[in-house]
Structure 1
Amino acid sequence: MLFHVIEIPVEYDNANCPTGFLEWLEKLNFSTICGDLALQGKIRILKFIKSEYLEIVNLMRAYCRKEHKEDYNLLKSIPGFWGFLASVVIAECGDLRRFNTEGQFASFISIVPGMHNSGGSEKCLGITPRSKS
């Protein structure tokens, strides 16, 4: 788009890909046929990926609502968790009741609190990622 000197309108210029952005893209005309063809191909790919994502999200949520209803609803009750995220946690971790403490769960998902101890004082450095080996 820079090559064709096309500026993205301010209302669409953010990381969240606002609703009207795709429609705006579909109406664009580049200065060359090749530019138009390339853009239309990328739009088709984007639409396909979005439809696949939505299908998987709906299937996973439906499965978890049916087979893991209690865990799914408990996870969704956590602020910031939504249906798909809850279903991904269930898919990745399996039965959450196998963890006796939140520390065991945090260790399993490879996050641990970063701590600094010095002369009797303790300071939390936040969450430290730790990869599974």
Structure 2
Amino acid sequence: MATFKLNISDKKGKTISKEVKEKDANPFLGLQVGSELDAALVGEAGKLKVTGGSDKSGVPLRPDIHGGARKYILLSQGVGLRNAEIGQRIRKLIRGNTITEEVYQINCFLDGELKVEEKPQEEAEKKESTEKSKKA
């Protein structure tokens, strides 16, 4: 059975991480980078757009490579390649754009706004302020 770690971000820059296991992960199998699906699967309102991801060993998904297999391709720019000089090409290991069971992390974009719980931070700030007042 598949287990995915979803990184869901919105247009304001907020990001949450959710883990999806077994039966809840089945709708993600077979999707391609750029596909849209209903966000109700992860408990949010709106639509999710798959923007990328990586497999269990950290190999990134590349949207222009078809299928779910790992391949060595010659890259000059884009996903999976950092800091190439002008004219330089490097052969890198890349996974195709289809989500399979080997994929571990899926990056998604939510068209709505995320509800981020801020209670743990507020409690930590209260503890710090009470500790400072005790020291003084």
Whether the TM-score (by the shorter chain) exceeds 0.5 is no
Structure 1 or 2: more helix by fraction: 1
- The normalised TM-score by structure 1 is 0.23
Structure 1 or 2: more strand by fraction: 2
Q: Which has the higher contact order (CA 8 A, sep 6+)?
A: 2
- The normalised TM-score by structure 2 is 0.22
